[in-house]
Amino acid sequence: MDYRRTYRSAAVTFVDLVRRVPADRLDGPGLGDWTLRELISHTISSALEQVPAVLGTASSSAPRSPSLPGAPRKAPQPVNIEAPEGYFAFVRDVPADVYAAAVAASTDDARRPVDFDSTGELAGRATQSLAAVGDDDVVTTPVGGMRVRDWLPTRTFELVVHGADVAAAAGVPAGFDPAAVSEATLLAARIAVALGEGPTVLSALTGRSPLPEKFTVV
């Protein structure tokens, strides 16, 4: 699965979705305590706006040939998280006070004013920034160093999952590409396994038993 293509596809679909959200629904329910406006703002920030900044921290363990033009690459940084599911498993495994602080910071960010008309421009910057990095370049994320190919699917996951939340709250169809939905669904299953919930999810997906009430992998 081409993680670059699925991210671009999800970004384009999310931009289109935001443009179709009725203005009179924005201050209504979104997700949990968030209004729809706050939900959209959070998704724009976490899945579009921060992408160029994070990719801008990229460093490579492969030295640049002296014969090649361009500025020297940053010194290599360690890889702390080896897979996309590790990103979400790490967040779930931190102390309760750290997790609560992260949730509060996320809510504060969601309430920051965002110009929804700039969503397309932000998506363009995010997708363009991908051209400057390699799959195995290491970037600095909130949970530590991750390879680009492992971190970017976490942003696609945000776009697809929160895109579906936005669509449900706004009463409009989302229409994400099946490849992007497949990537997000597979990642959700892998997060469940990383959290020790693999048997629970497998049993539910094969019709053996229902998921526990309020079960989630994020």
On the question of pLDDT at 166 being above 70, the answer is yes
pLDDT score, position 111: 82
Q: For residue 86, which amino acid is it?
A: G
Q: Is the pLDDT of residue 62 over 60?
A: no
Residue 141 lies in a domain: yes
Q: From CA 204, how far away is CA 121, in angstroms rounded?
A: 40
7 inside domain: yes
Question: Is 67 part of any domain?
Answer: no
Query: How many domains does the structure of the chain reveal?
Result: 1
Q: 65 or 76, which is more confident?
A: 76
Domain housing 147: 3-61+72-197
d(CA 17, CA 160): 11
Residue 175 domain flag? yes
User: Would you say residue 210 lies in a domain?
Assistant: no
Q: Is residue 216 part of a domain?
A: no
Q: What is the pTM of this model?
A: 0.89
pLDDT tens-digit map of 110-161: 788 788 999 999 999 999 999 999 999 999 998 999 999 999 999 999 999 9
CATH number at residue 133: 1.20.120
CA terminus-to-terminus distance, the chain: 23
